[in-house]
Amino acid sequence: MVCKIVGMNNADILIIGAGAAGLMAAYELSKAGKKVIILEALDRIGGRAYTLHTGSGLATIELGAEFVHGDLPITLGLLKEAGIKYNLASASMWQYQKGEFTADEFFIEHWDLLITRLNQLKQDMSINAFMQREFSDDKYETMRESVRKYVSGYDTADPQKASCFALLNEWQHEDESAQHRIVGGYGTLMNYLANECKANSGEIHLNTIVKDIYWEPGKVSAITTGGIAYHATKMIVAVPPGVLQAPTQERGAIAFHPLITEHSDTIQQIGFGSVIKILLEFDEAFWENEQTKATTGHDLKDMGFLLSDEDVPTWWTQFPERSTLLTGWLGGPEAEAKKDFSEDEILMQALQSISNIFKLGIDDLKQGLRYGQVVNWTTLPFTRGSYAYDKVNSPAARKILNNPVNSTVFFAGEYLYDGPAMGTVEAAFTSGKYVAERMLK
């Protein structure tokens, strides 16, 4: 392939992607005196952490990552270092099924039996195959459906592919009482990392789409769609797995020269979910008013999360902060099935779901809607999904992907994290930090 090189930039280390993993790696490497250049395809940093300032009644909204899921050491350590505050976000969970609201922290029947059977499993398999094998009786039908919805919704995973071992590890380490939100959003933390990198002579080039990577041991070049070349002795590829899994002819995909066949084949063994997030700001928090209390028969003023059987099944508020924002979430195969829907179609399904749950008219909801946005992460060319989940062969794949190609091309991202906080910003930070420390050694 012949490239027209119209510019030249040199660094010790090139980083492709200014998401959490890339920024964390740049933060560590630039502190150690390495000249770092980050190449980011989007017009912003943060990747799947995307804080938006709407200019409406809300100070900030999170279009992507929103919660700190537990007392996570790297994330909370960075927040303390940066002087960024965070608030407890734990809240009550409600369920709406068959026309009834119920408040219960524990939704899955026979949960203890499920965990016991999973702990007895000797050879990994998909959670769908496991449920069919172990809980095929009619009396477990509700349980099977609850597990399917949980894996699809929370993990944004395909139950026919999601690993039992990984899910068990996650479920046994969950701490729902330690959920946090960052004051000012994740964007404040991403900006801190970026500014620290720049303070140590690092560079971040936005709107810079890398199309081709040419490498040999100890030498690597990134060529952009505009024909600009960047050179270094080492590179970190910190883009989402969906981008690496995409055919090279598609927008956002990256081609390696020569091919890195083992890594390119192995990346297909990493699960990568689908998600659609819907953010709706209303004139009032109607779920808190007396009319809703009379209609539902429940006081929902302290409602944090709501699970339902609607087209958009999962909703949450900003509790304990009082806000008129209601966030909808559709994950897994259901989100994949709607990925080609228009934003208007998804917005209408969201409003219809709310209408069905709270017995409110669609026209009334539309009239009270101050701001609405649909984020279909699966269709965005530089993201192509939500976050990683383990398939049965993912642990073996991760070992290969965590090894650099000839000590020259390294990979980083939440999908390379091996632990109970998989799929989180903490996982991305952990991977970026690990790769940087490995390079410095």
| H or E segment and range at residue 7 | none
What integer pLDDT is reported at residue 118 of this predicted model? 97
217 lies in the same domain as 263 = yes
3-state secondary structure of 94: strand
Q: Two tokens at 108? A: 């899955």
Tell me what the mean pLDDT of segment 228-248 comes to. Answer: 97
DSSP state of 309: S
User: In the predicted model, is pLDDT for residue 90 greater than 90?
Assistant: no
Domain that holds residue 315: 93-179+274-386
The CATH number that applies at residue 345 is: 3.90.660.10
What integer pLDDT is reported at residue 55 of this predicted model? 60
353 lies in the same domain as 381 = yes
370 lies in the same domain as 395 = no
3-state secondary structure of 331: strand
3-state secondary structure of 271: strand
pLDDT band at 346; cut points 50, 70, 90: very high
User: In the predicted model, is pLDDT for residue 1 greater than 60?
Assistant: no
User: What's the rounded Cα separation, in Å, for the pair 13 and 407?
Assistant: 12
Q: Does a structural domain hold residue 280?
A: yes
The CATH number that applies at residue 19 is: 3.50.50.60
User: What's the rounded Cα separation, in Å, for the pair 48 and 428?
Assistant: 11
Last residue of a domain, one of 369, 386, 403: 386
The string of pLDDT tens digits covering residues 124-145 is 999 999 999 999 999 999 999 9
| H or E segment and range at residue 156 | none
Contact at 8 Å (CB) between 67 and 179?
yes
290 lies in the same domain as 402 = no
Q: Does a structural domain hold residue 379?
A: yes
Q: Does a structural domain hold residue 84?
A: no
242 lies in the same domain as 192 = yes
Q: Burial, 19: exposed, middle or buried (Cβ in 10 Å; 0-12, 13-18, 19+)?
A: buried
Q: How many domains does the chain have?
A: 2
Contact at 8 Å (CB) between 374 and 347?
yes
Q: Does a structural domain hold residue 60?
A: no
What integer pLDDT is reported at residue 3 of this predicted model? 47
Tell me what the mean pLDDT of segment 321-326 comes to. Answer: 92
CA separation (Å) from 288 to 94, 301, 303, 368? 14, 5, 9, 15
The string of pLDDT tens digits covering residues 95-105 is 998 888 988 76
What integer pLDDT is reported at residue 106 of this predicted model? 59
Strand 100-103 relative to strand 92-97, pairing: antiparallel
Average pLDDT of the chain, as a whole number: 93
Q: Does a structural domain hold residue 190?
A: yes
Last residue of a domain, one of 367, 386, 405: 386
Q: What percent of the chain has pLDDT over 90?
A: 84
139 lies in the same domain as 279 = yes
User: In the predicted model, is pLDDT for residue 217 greater than 50?
Assistant: yes
User: What's the rounded Cα separation, in Å, for the pair 230 and 213?
Assistant: 10
What integer pLDDT is reported at residue 7 of this predicted model? 44
Q: Does a structural domain hold residue 53?
A: no
User: What's the rounded Cα separation, in Å, for the pair 276 and 153?
Assistant: 10
Between 123 and 8, the more confident residue is: 123
Tell me what the mean pLDDT of segment 150-164 comes to. Answer: 96
Q: E strands along 98-177, which residues?
A: 100-103
Q: Which of 118, 122, 140, 142 is nearest to 130 (CA)?
A: 118
User: In the predicted model, is pLDDT for residue 389 greater than 70?
Assistant: yes
Q: Which of these ranges, 1-5, 79-83, 381-385, has the smallest mean pLDDT? A: 1-5
The string of pLDDT tens digits covering residues 35-88 is 999 999 999 999 999 999 866 556 689 999 999 988 899 999 999 999 999 998
Q: Does a structural domain hold residue 59?
A: no
The string of pLDDT tens digits covering residues 14-37 is 999 999 999 999 999 999 999 999
207 lies in the same domain as 350 = no
Q: Which of 67, 62, 72, 77 is nearest to 421 (CA)?
A: 72
228 lies in the same domain as 283 = no
310 lies in the same domain as 349 = yes
Q: How many helices (H) and strands (E) does the chain have?
A: 15, 24
User: What's the rounded Cα separation, in Å, for the pair 101 and 298?
Assistant: 8
Q: What angle do CA 394, 397, 400 make, to 5 degrees?
A: 155
The string of pLDDT tens digits covering residues 193-203 is 999 999 999 99
User: In the predicted model, is pLDDT for residue 177 greater than 90?
Assistant: no
Q: Which of these ranges, 98-102, 174-178, 307-311, 356-360, has the smallest mean pLDDT? A: 174-178
408 lies in the same domain as 319 = no
Q: In the Cβ-directed half-sphere of 396, how many Cα atoms lie within 13 Å?
A: 10
Last residue of a domain, one of 342, 360, 386: 386
Give the pTM.
0.94
14 lies in the same domain as 148 = no
User: What's the rounded Cα separation, in Å, for the pair 384 and 267?
Assistant: 14
159 lies in the same domain as 110 = yes
Tell me what the mean pLDDT of segment 400-425 comes to. Answer: 94
Those residues with Cβ within 8 angstroms of residue 51's Cβ, 6 or more apart along the chain or in another chain = 60, 61, 62, 63, 184, 185, 186, 187, 188, 190
3-class SS string, 234-270: EEEECCCHHHHHCCCCCCCCCEEECCCHHHHHHHHHE
Query: Position 175: which residue type?
Result: D
